[in-house]
Structure 1
């Protein structure tokens, strides 16, 4: 009997040791991947032979105070890590619990909340929104051409409504009610929400339309927006550190990141207040957003339903009257891999997330700055380290030398469209381009007559006539656009 007990204990010890070794090995792999991500940042444009950067180097380059990242692999958050400061002046470090303003990513979670009303039988996604609005009615006019706006129009930006985004209010401003925002009356600092064109013609981004959906939710539930969203969306998905409160009065101040300008300077107030909660009011972090992404991925497969069931998750992720605009998210086919995604830009904050529709992969990046340039660089690094197909976007150029005499033939004024000129100048062996109202940018040669920018994916080609004279500057940016040489 004693021998059997000893044998059982030995097996248990061996199993525990094996499990511990496996855990150690997995943790070592994760730490290795974190270091690889941290040291392999690249931008959308690279020059052959140019080394990659570290997160620290790019934070210094962009004058960033804080960055927070999370990586999702195989339906689990593999790791999350924050860098720098939540508040530089007070020396409060950014941590995984630090909350950032999610800006327009708020619209994604709002889509979950609105479709929860559909799922509960309290809202019909195809009916006129005025059937559900009680404290305000959308003022249809002749622009709408007799067509109704439904909730799917609002969430997919196909309602034809105006007001792209909101600038928020500082801590000394009077904050308007939702009805004042929708009517554009003081103290609202945005235009009235009205029709620009008939519903259903096309998708045109409208934070104004999303704000109408906020009031619909409040009118149906008779609850404050932030309370409903916490109880029915955030809490069920495990996002208990997040809030739609504006301002977040129930959150410890040290957990709130301070917003900064692109040059690293502080905002006048620590952060702006956004009463347009559905469009821009979520405070969260990459760890909590990972829970939302994973829940979406699992619900899509019918393996979870903490907030929405499979049918309503499919509805939310299905583009409506547009190839990419779904109900609170954008669906992008990236080299054969489909992702649901959204970005955000509030005063002093930038953010972006991607979640794959299959495979359970994703990434979230948030910064407390007006400059989000580092985000795509981090996403590129994550995509390369983890082989996330479709997320890596970095084109490599080989720079060539061009004689200054040849460069001089390109110097001049090129008319892009009436009143908008592209000025090409030369300084020694360097060529520069400057469009009306914009700063001067370096042009780098990839051939004797074709140049590229390192900051944005734009190429410029100089076209000659049969006499060898430069007559056109062809600009490649979302297609080819010709600018005629006028001087």
Structure 2
């Protein structure tokens, strides 16, 4: 067979506390503006201690910040490895397979693909909407996102062979002096840990605060990349756990760039692209005479290209054509065909980590009946890509899309369908009307990631979403059963429970966060004025950030520094909630019965504060 939180824009005076309640937890500021009050309050647990910083990039300022896709890759590879299809007597063409998935797809994506099978190379192209078809061809350059990390691996293999870097070097050896690099019980982060995503680093630097949501890495500095290490506390020894980290890949790129004899883009071009025959490829920028495709959101809207600092480009800055990636896949299948890189290509396929998932030098590896399959999927704000190859079978598959498809399943299923020559399981995501009963069932108050309040309602037969303090967005609905936000890349997927009730999942930037319905208090307790007065006071949650608790018109209220006030509802002994904002406050008493402290729980964090 051939071929497969607490944040408010309302802190002004002259209004009663009760009147400002509605703005207590929403974010009216795009996340790209830096740390918001919501982040300060709902994320008091230091990032890196059991918190996923990728999720921080979603629940403060949800809708505006959805224009930013802060990670380069979400693997469909784990699922891809499990996809199997019935064998067809006659494999279908790539054009037929791409048409089965993308014909009429709401993304409007133009998708190019290739399969290498021994000496045979087949290519194909399909555009979802003929009226929006773009004239890309096999020489057009695409952003390939995290496939770039495999070139980082090749550059490292050469540096190791030259003796300038060792896989077992602590990374501190290759960073500026006096860099505060965390360790765990004296065990350092080593070069191999950056390469295999086992360093214990979160997805992004802890101080990452991009100024441009649609081009988030453009202004990332060495000070943020390296300085963020001082803020990190490792929760396990490096090498223990696998967690995909763009931060780690950027640090490795930075180290390799500073060992290069010239700038990193030039070093990669001279050392890798030219020997392989990748005539259109570049690390950022664009080679003379090369046409660069324009990127699009999964809704079909155009979006900006992504730029990276040269020294960090190994994380995802490579731009390459279909012909380039065909040449690269051939080199991986036959390392001896590129004498200058034969040793590095061979070494880069050796396993460095055998725990799930298995890792080679930048590749994720899966054992199959046909031998090892090496694969990497990539995505930027406007592009998706995938390359996989199996040396034993002499087969490789490449897929490039000019639309970001990570949040609608990526390209893994398409690649496997091409590998096996079938259209089984493929279908376009076409826009269709949602069932009226489903719309009715989803209306109401919700919490995004347990912290950001949002409302859903129906207007003229369409679902409308509004996060606290932000604009309202009319949602489209597609044939896969998902609702999508038209101006930005975000997808809401309804999940029906056995009892007929619904929850939602928000897919954005490769991450998934829960969206849960706001429930009425389970128990309402009535307290008199004297009982409420016991809780009144100031509770410092962090330096220069205080939660003030006071009584207004017989209602216990809370207000954080610079934010709006919100009402607290008593639900138990010394337990108060603000369910619309995902807040629970447990007051703690001293031996004499007086209130001495509180614990504020929100979005998975538990923040203690002593009463002043």
User: Under TM normalisation by the shorter chain, which class is it?
Assistant: 0.5 to 0.7
Task: Tell me how far apart the structure 2 counterparts of residues 232 and 262 of structure 1 sit (CA, whole Å).
Answer: 35
Aligned counterparts, 1:5-154, within 5 A = 33-41=93-101, 54=103, 57-58=104-105, 61-64=106-109, 66-74=110-118, 76-79=120-123, 81=125, 93-133=135-175, 136-137=176-177, 139-141=179-181, 144-154=184-194
Residue of structure 1 equivalent to 2:271: 232
Aligned counterparts, 1:46-445, within 5 A = 54=103, 57-58=104-105, 61-64=106-109, 66-74=110-118, 76-79=120-123, 81=125, 93-133=135-175, 136-137=176-177, 139-141=179-181, 144-164=184-204, 179-180=222-223, 182-183=225-226, 195-197=232-234, 198-244=237-283, 246-248=284-286, 250-252=287-289, 255-267=291-303, 272-275=307-310, 276-299=312-335, 306-309=340-343, 312-315=347-350, 317-319=351-353, 322-332=356-366, 338-371=372-405, 376=410, 380=413, 383-384=416-417, 386-387=419-420
**Equivalent position SS for 1:97:** coil
> 1:177 and 1:96, CA in 2 relative to 1: closer, same or farther beyond 3 A?
same
Task: Tell me how far apart the structure 1 counterparts of residues 170 and 225 of structure 2 sit (CA, whole Å).
Answer: 17
Q: 1:243 deviation in Å?
A: 1.4
- 2:463·2:474 contact (CA, 8 Å) conserved in 1? no
> 1:98 and 1:83, CA in 2 relative to 1: closer, same or farther beyond 3 A?
farther
Task: Tell me how far apart the structure 1 counterparts of residues 498 and 466 of structure 2 sit (CA, whole Å).
Answer: 18
- 1:329·1:341 contact (CA, 8 Å) conserved in 2? yes
Task: Tell me how far apart the structure 2 counterparts of residues 407 and 241 of structure 1 sit (CA, whole Å).
Answer: 48
- 1:383·1:392 contact (CA, 8 Å) conserved in 2? no
Higher helix share: 1
Q: Structure 1 residues 339-348 or 434-443, which shifts more? A: 434-443
Task: Tell me how far apart the structure 1 counterparts of residues 357 and 456 of structure 2 sit (CA, whole Å).
Answer: 37
Task: Tell me how far apart the structure 1 counterparts of residues 374 and 492 of structure 2 sit (CA, whole Å).
Answer: 23
Q: Deviations over 1:444-482 (max 9, x none)?
A: 9xxxxxx97699997845335xxxxx6x7699999xx99
> 1:293 and 1:169, CA in 2 relative to 1: closer, same or farther beyond 3 A?
farther
Higher strand share: 2
Give 5+ residue unaligned stretches, structure 1. Answer: 1-28, 42-52, 185-190, 397-402, 445-450, 465-469
Residue of structure 1 equivalent to 2:581: none
**Equivalent position SS for 1:94:** coil
- 1:139·1:194 contact (CA, 8 Å) conserved in 2? no
> 1:95 and 1:125, CA in 2 relative to 1: closer, same or farther beyond 3 A?
same
- 1:203·1:325 contact (CA, 8 Å) conserved in 2? no
Task: Tell me how far apart the structure 2 counterparts of residues 404 and 392 of structure 1 sit (CA, whole Å).
Answer: 30
> 1:431 and 1:84, CA in 2 relative to 1: closer, same or farther beyond 3 A?
closer
Give 5+ residue unaligned stretches, structure 2. Answer: 1-89, 429-434, 485-490, 521-612
Q: 1:242 deviation in Å?
A: 0.9
Task: Tell me how far apart the structure 1 counterparts of residues 352 and 245 of structure 2 sit (CA, whole Å).
Answer: 18
Task: Tell me how far apart the structure 2 counterparts of residues 175 and 373 of structure 1 sit (CA, whole Å).
Answer: 22
- Matched length: 401
- Superposition TM-score, scaled by structure 1 size: 0.63
- 1:82·1:94 contact (CA, 8 Å) conserved in 2? no
RMSD: 5.2
- Superposition TM-score, scaled by structure 2 size: 0.52
Task: Tell me how far apart the structure 2 counterparts of residues 405 and 82 of structure 1 sit (CA, whole Å).
Answer: 35
- 2:446·2:515 contact (CA, 8 Å) conserved in 1? no
Residue of structure 2 equivalent to 1:7: none
Q: 1:279 deviation in Å?
A: 0.7
- 2:114·2:398 contact (CA, 8 Å) conserved in 1? yes
- 1:105·1:352 contact (CA, 8 Å) conserved in 2? yes
Q: 1:222 deviation in Å?
A: 2.7
